[in-house]
């Protein structure tokens, strides 16, 4: 059984942009569903979301307090626990999730940040872009609204029972330059393990970092838990322990999807065989 779930970020999502965000997820599902392995499914889905300016990832990512964009992204597959993460990447790499994949496949490190990650991208031939393509007027208009936080993510189970997760974000509007959130940190903003499932978080990343939230969720699945129950418990824990805000998507070994959030909205969609 194949399962793919995607989200467009937990947050306010006010007015007409809310419907646009909901609708855009179908394209991400289509992109991911055209592949067979869990890893390829989540990478393709997140690449599609990075191309859609309504989401806070890739094109349309948020600006930091200095007025420029820094991307974070993470990728993990649950069979061998390979991980790749990139943080505080200036708007240079066309698809931040591709750079996270390059880090994972290189295998020497789990996380690269800032200028070192940019040099690695050039060395590996990762597609680059003019930084201007990432900037949108909508995000510039939010520069003073520091509460704007939303991350895109995808979780998948393929027909062979393998799991993968991918996440990408511009962080939150007005963050300090050099800030790295939960999205490139395995166990905090994302985690996958074939023994249990996969989870991807979204929201104010500091709470996810403090709780190692996604690792806790996948451990609960490995102990026999259900996706929906684990997702709801995770967001309740985020609220109770650290007064955090956000959401999570989860897929378990049964191919079931769990969704939970404590923000006004979190666009999400899922598909199963």
Sort residue 221 into left (φ over 0), alpha (ψ -120 to 50) or beta: alpha
Give residue 114's region: left, alpha or beta (phi > 0; psi -120 to 50): left
DSSP-derived secondary structure for 97-162:
HHHHHHHHHH-S-SEEEHHHHHHHHHHHT--B--GGGG--HHHHHTTT-TT-EEEEEEEEE-TTS-
Helix (H, G, I), strand (E, B) or coil at 236: helix
Kind and range of the H or E element at 220? helix 213-222
- Evaluate whether 46 touches 97 at the Cβ level (below 8 Å): yes
**What was the pLDDT predicted at 144?**
45
CA angle centred on 245, ends 244 and 249, rounded to 5°: 115
User: What is the reported pLDDT for 141?
Assistant: 55
Q: Residue 140: what pLDDT?
A: 54
Residue 66 · residue 111 · CB < 8 Å: no
User: CATH classification of 3-272 is 3.60.20.30, yes or no?
Assistant: yes
Helix (H, G, I), strand (E, B) or coil at 210: helix
Domain ranges in the chain are 3-272
Note the pLDDT of residue 147. 43
| pTM of the predicted protein model | 0.94
Along the 273 residues of the chain, how does pLDDT read in single tens digits?
A: 899 999 999 988 888 888 889 999 999 999 999 999 999 999 999 999 999 999 999 998 888 889 889 999 999 999 999 999 999 998 789 999 999 999 999 999 999 999 999 999 999 999 998 777 776 665 555 544 444 557 999 999 999 999 999 999 999 888 999 999 999 999 999 999 999 999 999 999 999 999 999 999 999 999 999 999 999 999 999 999 999 999 999 999 999 999 999 999 999 999 998
pLDDT at residue 138 in the model: 57
For residue 104, what pLDDT is reported? 98
User: Which positions are annotated as active-site residues?
Assistant: 151
């Amino acid at each position: 059984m194949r399962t793919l779930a995607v989200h467009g970020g937990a947050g306010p999502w006010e007015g007409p942009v809310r419907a646009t965000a909901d609708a855009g997820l179908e394209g991400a599902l289509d992109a991911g569903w055209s592949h067979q392995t869990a890893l390829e499914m989540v990478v393709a889905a997140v690449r599609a979301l990075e191309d859609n300016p309504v989401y806070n990832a890739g094109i349309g990512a948020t600006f930091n307090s200095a007025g420029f964009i820094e991307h974070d992204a993470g990728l993990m597959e649950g069979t061998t626990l390979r991980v790749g993460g990139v943080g505080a990447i200036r708007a240079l790499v066309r698809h931040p999730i591709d750079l996270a994949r390059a880090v994972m496949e290189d295998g020497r490190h789990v996380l690269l940040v800032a200028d070192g990650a940019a040099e690695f991208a050039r060395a590996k031939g990762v597609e680059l872009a003019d930084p201007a393509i990432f900037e949108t007027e909508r995000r510039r208009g939010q520069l003073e609204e520091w509460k704007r936080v939303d991350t895109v993510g995808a979780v998948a189970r393929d027909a062979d029972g393998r799991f993968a997760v991918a996440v990408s974000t511009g962080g939150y509007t007005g963050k300090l330059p050099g800030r790295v959130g939960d999205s490139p940190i395995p166990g905090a903003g994302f985690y996958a393990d074939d023994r249990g499932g996969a989870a991807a978080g979204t929201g104010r990343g500091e709470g996810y970092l403090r709780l190692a939230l996604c690792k806790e969720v996948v451990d609960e699945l490995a102990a026999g838990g259900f996706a929906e129950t684990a997702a709801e418990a995770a967001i309740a824990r985020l609220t109770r322990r650290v007064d955090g805000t956000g959401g999570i998507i989860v897929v378990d070994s049964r191919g079931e999807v769990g969704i939970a959030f404590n923000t006004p909205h979190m666009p999400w969609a899922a598909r199963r065989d």
